[in-house]
Chains A and B, each alone.
Chain A
Amino acid sequence: MAEQAKAATDTGPRPIVPYLKLDPTPHLIGQKCGICGATYADVSRMACSKCGGTGPFETVSLSTHGKVYVFSVIHQSFPGIKTPYMTAIVDLSDGVSVRATIDDVDPEEAEKDPHKFFNMPVELLTRVAAKDQEGRDVIAFAFKPSAN
């Protein structure tokens, strides 16, 4: 409840999805099934879609590093979305996969030589993606190439 009360009065930036946490440093959180160990980038699971178990779920911090599994280069999107950009499925180091935009890559190069981008190590970053109806910055996460 304390968190809700804080959110209601908070004029600071807000994450675009509840599983993105901005403090103390930006990171994703997940829920881990106490029965089978399957972990979800989520905060409100009622049960585990792998084993059907209804918990308990442990809230865990997810790795800020991972590798690109597959990607696509998007050339057509909605108004306000700059194209082309790379969308990808990133396998985080702790086994959870998430969908995100990949920054700091050359989409043209990815189309010429896709194999160079499979397994590419990436790290989490955050940036302002929009302003909400109450004037707060909405923060999205993305990934960029990393050294390891």
Chain B
Amino acid sequence: MRNVYVLGTGMIKFGRYPEKKVHQLGAEAAIIAIKDAGITINDVEILVSGNLFQASAMIGQRILQQIGQTGIPVVNVTNACATGSTAVREAYLGVASGMYDIALAVGSEQMGKAGLLGANRDGVADPAYNTEGKLGSGLMPAVFGQAGIEHMRKYGTKLEHFAKISVKSHQHASRNPYSQYRNEITLDDVLKSRMIAYPNTLYMCCPTGDGAAAAVLVSEEKLRELAGGRTRPRIAASILTSDPWTERDLALPDVSTLTRRAAKQAYETAGIGPKDVDLTELHDCFATAELVHYENLQLCGDGEAAKFIDERGGVHPNLGGKSPVNVSGGLLSKGHPLGATGVANICEVTWHLTEDERAKERQVPNAKVGMAHVIGLGSACTIHILTV
């Protein structure tokens, strides 16, 4: 496999864009990424488009109908919340394999104010046989609430530990102009906001929203030709796993085992360890998820997540923290337009590694290695490690 580099990135501020179509959001991000790369659409050899809610609408082709119908191959992918990161991985594989020299990955989503995702997986014709709320809950807040409860059960973790993650997320997001929410909140605000699914209160759940992000990936040869002396990160690992059989996975999706497998493979492929990672963007769809992923990604030892939080782990170094996690604000504050999320992570990590103007207010000093982790329930887990 050949080395692959991130030559250009682009994203639009996550938020709500009811006046626009989702392919227009994708096109906006794509144009920014293409300009950032210093190329034109005529140089792009393949487009991989990630979108979940309009998976049957050929969003990739509709993006090209906005930005240039060059006739290149287009692949539309979905993988639940890992849709965007799966698009990045498919683009990566296209370049790494030697098939293409320049690939464009675009993630886009328009969710409006849809809430309570994950319902009606039963596929029943008569809604009377829909099990949601009748055989407990399989909605995302229930699944991730229980992931946190499992940690409580094993290690005595307290509600406050989960809540602190939301405080940190909002503090980080206040320094990110691309973030859907930029307001700082207190521990009291988090604990007193209404309960959605114990232990996750409203502020411990990511919002729905609209957004798009794009990345141009190139071979080493093209990098030399096009980078013009600019530093560009190499994708040192691009890993995708699905949920292996575990004891209770069919009753309660196990979000940990596939992440642990992906992390192990990612570290081995990149030839680094967790201590070498300067910043991590991980899948904090709920505060409980971020806490368990500290351990799953080996940012701390098993059972040490609460201690890690108490010692300001995950907090930006400029705010007195260490091992920064989700300096963008993460899904909790930056937002989680499903198909865009995994590509936006690549943008964020790239900006820190290249000291891009777009990460100015929250630049992690001397960042050389960044990790982006995404989980799509069902389940799919991606991890990308970028290095400069």
Chain A residues within 8 Å of B, Cβ to Cβ: 16-17, 38, 40-41, 49-50, 69-78, 80-81, 84-85, 87-89, 91, 97-102, 107, 110-111, 114-115, 118, 129-133, 138, 140-142
Contact = CB atoms under 8 A, between A and B. Distances in A.
Contact of B194 (A17, A71, A75): A75
20 contacts: A16-B128, A17-B135, A41-B250, A70-B146, A70-B150, A72-B149, A73-B198, A76-B116, A76-B141, A76-B197, A77-B133, A77-B137, A84-B195, A99-B252, A101-B133, A111-B199, A114-B198, A131-B128, A132-B128, A133-B128
Contacts of B196: 75-76
Interface of B: 116, 119, 126-129, 131-139, 141-142, 145-146, 149-150, 152-153, 156, 194-199, 245, 247-248, 250-252
Contacts of A138: 128-129
A77 B118 CA distance: 12
A10 B201 CA distance: 45
Given A132-B128, A133-B128, A78 B136 contact: no
B248 A71 contact: no
A81 B133 contact: yes
A101 B132 CA distance: 10
A88 B198 CA distance: 12
B197 A74 contact: yes
A40 B248 CA distance: 10
A99 B128 contact: no
Contacts of B194: 75
A143 to B, nearest CB: 9
B128 A130 contact: yes
B129 A99 contact: no
Contact of B129 (A50, A118, A132): A132
B145 A99 contact: no
Contacts of B131: 16-17, 140
B244 to A, nearest CB: 9
B142 A72 contact: yes
A87 B142 contact: yes
B134 A101 contact: yes
A138 B199 CA distance: 31
A100 B135 contact: yes
Given A74-B137, A74-B141, A118-B153, 13 more contacts: A70-B146, A70-B149, A72-B146, A74-B139, A74-B197, A77-B116, A78-B132, A91-B248, A97-B248, A111-B199, A114-B198, A133-B128, A140-B135
Contacts of B142: 72, 74, 87
B128 A75 contact: no
Identify the 10 closest CB pairs spanning chains A and B, nearest first: A87-B136, A81-B133, A72-B145, A130-B128, A73-B198, A132-B128, A97-B251, A87-B137, A97-B248, A129-B134
Contacts of A71: 146, 149
B274 to A, nearest CB: 27
B150 A72 contact: no
B277 to A, nearest CB: 30
Nearest to A98: B251
Contacts of A77: 116, 132-133, 137, 139
Contacts of A85: 133
B128 A73 contact: no
B292 to A, nearest CB: 12
B146 A78 contact: no
A40 B245 CA distance: 12
B128 A97 contact: no
A25 B145 CA distance: 33
A129 B149 CA distance: 27
A131 B129 CA distance: 9
A114 B149 CA distance: 8
A70 B126 contact: no
B251 A99 contact: yes
A54 to B, nearest CB: 15
A16 B134 CA distance: 9
Contacts of B134: 16, 81, 101, 129-130, 140
Given A40-B250, A97-B247, A132-B126, A88 B197 contact: no
Contacts of B132: 77-78, 81
Given A75-B195, A138-B128, A70 B135 contact: no
A72 B135 contact: no
